[in-house]
Amino acid sequence: MGRFIDEGEVVEFTKEQRDRFLELLNSYKGVTILSHIRPDGDAIGSSLGIYHILKEAGFKVEIANYSKELPQDFKFLDGFSKIKNRVDFKDSLIIVCDSGSIDRVGFDLSGRVIVNIDHHKSNTDYGALNIVKPGAVSTSIVAYYFLKELFKVPKNSAKAFYTALLSDSLFFSTSSTNKDSFEFAKELVDLGANPAEIANLMKNQKPLSSLRLLAKALDSLKLHLNGKVATMKITKEDFAKTGASEYARDGVVEYGKSLATVSISILFAELDDKIKVSLRSKGIDVSKIAKSFGGGGHKEAAGFEVNGKIDKIKEKLLEKIKDSGVLD
């Protein structure tokens, strides 16, 4: 049986879970695979990995995301062009990947039966079937070990799952990375995923506009709370002047964390409708801080979205971090 280690505990999926999944699959004429709005590499890679598995198994499948714009860093994945921003199937089983709550999917799924596949601690168990393993290194590891006992995993799924793993583990650097993360990677390589090729496509295919946006963010960098917190910002004007997409902000927050004195790095990105706040840390649980602002995420990588002005949000967030005592 497929298994892996999740925060020190052995994870094994039950026969009842897999039987229920097959029962649901066979109850519908089609399957709709969704992920959270403004998807990252894990959301896209996990969704496409499942998509290819079910297509290979003979199911009628569509894949969609509510966002009109997708991160082009992952366009090298087979099936990326198949991701729509609408749901066409009227009566299909819904599989939601990498979304801690149903409201982050964007679509109205009232009355639809949902299979929830995720790894966020903040997951609200909104599915008729919840395949959720909080603390797992990525949603792709949950999806892979659940499905590998039921169906063949084709090469294009392995490539997508490996991409998802690299994305959410920050290239094997997060605290949730463990020996089974590497065993998972090995199995995907055995199935045809090419580590060097995927890493190169993820890291070395960025447009010039993204570097120009990074320069703007770094120019805004400030240190707070005795140098333990770094903040950066990207304004609407920065996006407009550089011509960068909103996804070009991905990874920018990591630069603040790279400083020797910094324990928490924060990026404020001014999007069309709200401020997107990203938090990264060195061993500090920033998910609790994000949750207090209506967001969530993982111990060392979390975030939230809020309306308002960057300076006011920053002031409140820094005060919250100071009062929480996490830097003591």
**For residue 200, what are the contacts with CB-CB under 8 A and spacing of at least 6?**
none
User: 41-56 vs 139-147: helix axis angle to the nearest 10?
Assistant: 20
d(CA 193, CA 226): 44
**For residue 162, what are the contacts with CB-CB under 8 A and spacing of at least 6?**
45, 140, 185, 188, 189, 193, 195, 198
3-state helix, strand, coil in the chain (%, to 5): 40, 20, 40
Q: For residue 33, which of 9, 10, 6, 59 has the smallest C-alpha distance?
A: 59
Alpha helices in 81-153 (DSSP H): 139-147
CA distances from 150 to 47, 50, 53, 191, 232 (A): 17, 12, 10, 16, 45
3-state secondary structure of 220: coil
3-state secondary structure of 6: strand
CA distances from 121 to 189, 210, 285 (A): 28, 31, 12
The predicted pLDDT at position 319 comes to: 96
Q: Locate tokens 């959301």: which residue?
A: 43
Q: Over the chain, what is the mean pLDDT?
A: 94
CA distances from 20 to 17, 99, 118 (A): 5, 21, 17
Encoding tokens for residue 261?
């004195």
d(CA 11, CA 192): 25
**pLDDT per residue as tens, the chain (328 positions):** 455 555 545 567 889 999 999 999 999 999 999 999 999 999 999 999 999 999 999 999 999 999 999 999 999 999 999 999 999 999 999 999 999 999 999 999 999 999 999 999 889 999 999 999 988 999 999 999 999 999 999 999 999 999 999 999 999 988 888 888 999 999 999 999 999 999 999 999 999 999 999 999 999 999 999 999 999 999 999 999 999 999 999 899 999 999 999 999 999 999 887 999 999 999 999 999 999 999 888 889 999 999 999 999 999 999 999 999 999 8
pTM for the whole thing? 0.90
d(CA 201, CA 224): 35
Exposure of 63 in the CB half-sphere (CA atoms within 13 A): 24
d(CA 265, CA 278): 8
Percent of the chain with pLDDT over 90: 86
d(CA 300, CA 112): 33
